[in-house]
Amino acid sequence: QAIDDDCNQTGQLLAAMLDWPQGTFASRVQLEAGHVLVEREVDGGLETLRLRLPAVLTADLRLNEPRYATLPNIM
């Protein structure tokens, strides 16, 4: 979690400073040869971006499913 009050500024500023492409709010990421496909939710549905590497990506909460600790692992 970023220190920018969840305003999604850190990833965008870093991409601008490095002059790298950016994919924000990624809900799915797929690597290709020299590129990355980033799927993200927008108001009208889903948007897929194809970015050259290196790139800066920021994650949406749907990127991974959380794992919950089982009782034996807690003990």
pLDDT band at 17 (very low <50, low <70, confident <90, very high): very high
* Nearest CA-CA partner of 30 in 15, 42, 21, 40: 40
pLDDT for res 1:
60
Q: Flag whether 15 is in a domain.
A: yes
pLDDT > 70? residue 33? yes
- Does residue 6 surpass a pLDDT of 80? no
Residue 20 lies in a domain: yes
Interval 9-33 mean pLDDT: 94
DSSP states of 39-61: EEEETTEEEEEEEESS-EEEE-T
**59 lies in a domain?**
yes
Q: Are residues 38 and 57 in contact, defined by beta-carbon separation less than 8 angstroms?
A: yes
Mean pLDDT score of the chain, rounded to an integer? 89
The answer to whether residue 70 is domain-embedded is no
Q: What confidence score (pLDDT) does residue 62 get? A: 80
Distance separating alpha carbons of residues 36 and 33, to the nearest angstrom: 8
For residue 22, being part of any structural domain is answered with yes
Is residue 72 included in any domain, yes or no?
no
> What is the span of the domain harbouring residue 15?
9-63
Residue 2: inside a domain, yes or no?
no
Indicate the number of domains in the chain: 1
